[in-house]
Structure 1
Amino acid sequence: MALTVQQHRDAAGLKDGLLLVDGQWRQARAGRTWTHHHPATGEVIGNVAVAGAEDVDEAVRAARRAFDESPWPGMRVGERSRLLRRCSDLLRENADDLRARQALDNSVPLSFATVYAGSVEVAADVFDHHAGWIDKAGGETFPPYQGGDHLAMTLREPVGVVAAILPWNAPFLLFAQKLAPALAAGCTVVLKPSEHATFSVLRMVELLQEAGVPDGVVNVVTGPGDPTGEALITHPLVDKISFTGSRAVGRRIVEASAGTMKRVSLELGGKSPAIVFPDADVGLAGMTTMGMVTLGLSGQACVAATRALVHRDAYDEFIGAAEMIAGSVTYGDPFDPGVMSCPLINQRQLDRVLGYIEKGQQEGARLVTGGGRSDGELSAGNFVQPTIFADADNSMTIAQEEIFGPVLTVVPFGDEDEAVRLANDTEYGLGAGVFTKDVQRAFRVAKRLRCGTVGINGFQVEPHLPFGGYKQSGLGREGGRSSFEAYTELKTVLLPLTDELM
């Protein structure tokens, strides 16, 4: 019997997606739509409006008016804090509906959507956290450096109109990571969700409206990168671009931002290493690492530890534990509580991952398990079996490039210096894991790693911590104080306290 999700679509009452411009939901001016096919079944889930350049221009100008002419940027801090906390409350109250819509978007199973990192709860906590920053957006005062009677101070002000561009894989968290600090700072936003995860994002925007976000403060343009994304990143009235996605698009955004010196925040993926020393709980390290690569998102997570650097004395035990996890992963209907992971997002990504698996075999890595597509009732979906490559060299394609699929590459090492050298031998620098019972070694290695986040004997998401990468993993940070400040400009003010010249 073929897998189907149509009954869940009908139960959710899903409607075709519209644009939101200045508080009004409407179709695209040219009438273009994009059809979303479910990645697990190939079934049509619905259509979303494709915003062209004219639609994007209207949305950006609405955000510009809301910033330049409305009371929004100067709203009292108490009122703004209450509004963000109301957004948080509504997200929690509508969690079941949002999880169902995400499962229809990207097939992420409900079982993973209750895990904190992939949940509505983490998005609500991000709004709560940034609500607390609103009354702390102060500057500083400085004593006169040259002498004289004057006051020197700094002020923090909202950066202006923000283009927020979301990926498909974590719509709850990344919606909050971009919208919450932008709104807390007093910015206005034009939001572009991924065409592969639109319906859950549109519902969250409806909740912001219900919470009382004024018309024009949040606008939504939907559609693919061409034409929608390109029109947004090149618009001259956009002050800042916040993007999570591929390096190729990130580079295009940097190019597009140069003409008007737009502020840019980019999170562009990674090839994160998990470094496993022989004194660690090696079995737990193997299960944890393979779990990150296969469970929930099937390795379609930027920070997943897809490269395991394992000491030779722990090598066989690690691979055995990882193989056990690979054999236990279940796929299927994302609404089934027993399903543990999802398919790849589309046919293009399926072909790409299978190509990397073939490349790994051609370059001489040992295929331990997996390597093919799932069959039977899953054959209509974009499912790839959990895959482990062992005895790989760190220079191999599968050890250097972000595969974005359920593929773990295991590389052996001999000592601490070699482990650090291998870990840093990549163009990326997003995250890393260190598995050891030696606390001194853990901190020593963590300090030497060129990446934005290091988990020691585990990894977790925290809404109040900065997240981002070194090198080609991006620019800037999301989360915590650094995220809030990224949506502000710093202004210096000098005030003489006498009539004498300074």
Structure 2
Amino acid sequence: MTLTLQPHRDVVGLSDGSLLVDGQWRAASSGRSWTHQHPASGESLASFPIAEQVDVDAAVGAARKAFDDGSWPHMRAGERIRLLHRYGQLLRDNADQLRGLQAMDNGVPLSFAGVYATSVGAAADVFDHHAGWVDKLGGQTLPGYQGGEHLAMTLREPIGVVAAILPWNAPFLLFAQKLAPALAAGCTVVVKPSEFATFSVLRMVELLGEAGVPDGVVNVVTGPGEPTGEALINHPQVDKVSFTGSREIGKHIVRASAGTLKRVSLELGGKSPTIVFPDAPDVGLAAMTTMGTVTMGVSGQACVAHTRALVHRDVYDQFIAAAQGMAAAVTYGDPFDAGVLASPLINEKQLNKVLGYIDKGRAEGARLVCGGERPDGELSAGNFVRPAIFAEVDNSMTIAREEIFGPVLSVIAFDDEDEAVRLANDTEYGLGAGLYTSDVKRVFRLSRALRAGTIGVNGFQIEPHVPFGGYKQSGIGREGGQSAFESYTELKTVMLPVTDELM
């Protein structure tokens, strides 16, 4: 029996996609299209246009006009607040359809789509949170420092036209983390969803129109990085690029932004460590939680997956046994099946990349405890690989250095706290870290010592109102909270004399 997703197409309302330019859904000028192949079955399910330079020009032009001449940047705070809250409610009202469309996009199972960080509810919360910042877009008034009587004032104003370039692994949350602060600040946006997760994003954009966002404020161009993404990041009328994806593409965006000194926000992945001490409240739970970030839901295709487990030698074997039990519990198949817990890898290229890393781990001397093979039967046409655990890993090995983006966990032993910190920080990345201990003094010591943007203590989660982003090559800037909101603004200083005296 062969796995098929065709019966779900009509149920979730999947149809061919279009570009959105100035409120009008349309085809690409060239007529070229991208056919979406589902990663679990290899089936062709639907298509969408490939936007060329002329299409991107039209979308950016519409956003530029809506910003320069439209009402959106000048809308009263109360009206924008109500609109963003209305949109959050529309997301919640349409959550079932959106989860189904995501399953048709990237294969993330419905069983996982309710987990908070990847849920529609989390995206709605992000919009609600940023709606609360709309009437707080303020500056400062400062006394004169020298010269005549005057005030120095600062104003925060929307940055302009934003290019929001989304990944495929978490379209709900990443759409919200980019568009919510941009729209709350008064910016206009051109969205480019990943070619591997387009249909759920198109529906989210449709709902913005239903919420009352004016034409031209949000536009959509679909297609791959070349030509669509390239045209967008190089466009001279784009003021800011917000991107989540690979480090290599992030570096390319920085180079492309140099010509016009575009502002950039980049979240570029990680090689996040979990550090487990013998006094962890529950070593088995720490192992299952860590292995869960590498297997459940998106099969380790998450920027903040804790793919390096640094485990004290006293509990090393206990940790591996519990992690192995978690790996054995992972199930694959039809993402609409309630018993399926994890997705396929997004495409054949990624599948081959992950299998190559598994081969590399064995070749470099790590011990493969379990997994690493492809399932057979009805799953053989999909991009599935069984979760792999490597023991006796040295932090210099390739599997401990490079972001694999798949269900592969490297377990590294340590003897004391200083060694754990050294190993954790010995990476080019710095996105997240997990810390399992009952010693509150150790929590404070290590939270300061670890070079990572988010530290989870005896667990790990993402909230809509706190900053998320990384140190080192994990990116530039933060998403979530006040810092994200302010990153979509420019700061202006106004010098105001209060007498006729010269300043």
The alignment's C-alpha RMSD in Å is 0.6
Partners of 2:271 and 2:431 within 8 A in 1: yes
**After superposition, where does 1:186-335 map in structure 2 within 5 Å?**
186-280=186-280, 281-335=282-336
Residue 100 of structure 2 aligns with which residue?
A: 100
Is residue 80 from structure 1 mapped to residue 100 from structure 2 by the alignment? no
Letter in 1 for 2:440: V
Residue 359 of structure 1 aligns with which residue?
A: 360
Query: In 1, Cα distance between the equivalents of 2:364 and 2:277?
Result: 26
Q: Deviations 1:249-295 (Å, cap 9, x if unpaired)?
A: 00110000000000000000000000001111211111110011100
Is residue 488 from structure 1 mapped to residue 483 from structure 2 by the alignment? no
Letter in 2 for 1:104: M
The aligned length equals: 502
Secondary structure of the residue that 2:353 maps to in structure 1? Answer: helix
Structure 1: gaps spanning 5 or more residues: none
Secondary structure of the residue that 1:367 maps to in structure 2? Answer: strand
Residue 384 of structure 2 aligns with which residue?
A: 383
Is residue 177 from structure 1 mapped to residue 171 from structure 2 by the alignment? no
More off after superposition, 394-403 vs 143-152: 143-152
Q: Deviations 1:136-184 (Å, cap 9, x if unpaired)?
A: 0100111111153111110000000000000000000000000000000
Residue 448 of structure 1 aligns with which residue?
A: 449
Secondary structure of the residue that 1:113 maps to in structure 2? Answer: coil
Residue 371 of structure 1 deviates from its aligned partner by 1.1
Query: In 2, Cα distance between the equivalents of 1:285 and 1:17?
Result: 42
Residue 222 of structure 1 deviates from its aligned partner by 0.2
Residue 57 of structure 2 aligns with which residue?
A: 57
Secondary structure of the residue that 1:345 maps to in structure 2? Answer: coil
TM-score (norm 1): 0.99
Query: In 2, Cα distance between the equivalents of 1:13 and 1:132?
Result: 33
Is residue 23 from structure 1 mapped to residue 23 from structure 2 by the alignment? yes
Is residue 34 from structure 1 mapped to residue 34 from structure 2 by the alignment? yes
Query: In 1, Cα distance between the equivalents of 2:376 and 2:350?
Result: 17
Identity of aligned residues (%): 75
Residue 13 of structure 1 deviates from its aligned partner by 2.7
Letter in 1 for 2:405: F
Query: In 2, Cα distance between the equivalents of 1:436 and 1:109?
Result: 32
Letter in 1 for 2:23: G
Partners of 2:147 and 2:502 within 8 A in 1: no
Residue 409 of structure 1 deviates from its aligned partner by 0.3
Q: Deviations 1:400-438 (Å, cap 9, x if unpaired)?
A: 000000000001001000000000000000000000011
More off after superposition, 143-152 vs 451-460: 143-152
More off after superposition, 4-13 vs 474-483: 4-13
Query: In 2, Cα distance between the equivalents of 1:478 and 1:163?
Result: 15
TM-score (norm 2): 0.99
Query: In 1, Cα distance between the equivalents of 2:240 and 2:108?
Result: 30
Query: In 1, Cα distance between the equivalents of 2:215 and 2:489?
Result: 21
Query: In 1, Cα distance between the equivalents of 2:291 and 2:73?
Result: 46
Query: In 2, Cα distance between the equivalents of 1:284 and 1:147?
Result: 64
Query: In 1, Cα distance between the equivalents of 2:436 and 2:12?
Result: 43
Residue 142 of structure 1 aligns with which residue?
A: 142
Q: Deviations 1:417-474 (Å, cap 9, x if unpaired)?
A: 0000000000000000000011110121111000100000000110000000000000
Secondary structure of the residue that 1:393 maps to in structure 2? Answer: coil
Structure 2: gaps spanning 5 or more residues: none
Q: Deviations 1:275-334 (Å, cap 9, x if unpaired)?
A: 001111211111110011100010000001000000000100000000000001111110
Letter in 2 for 1:30: S
**After superposition, where does 1:93-172 map in structure 2 within 5 Å?**
93-146=93-146, 148-172=148-172
Structure 1 consecutive aligned stretches of length 4 or more whose deviation exceeds 2 Å:
none
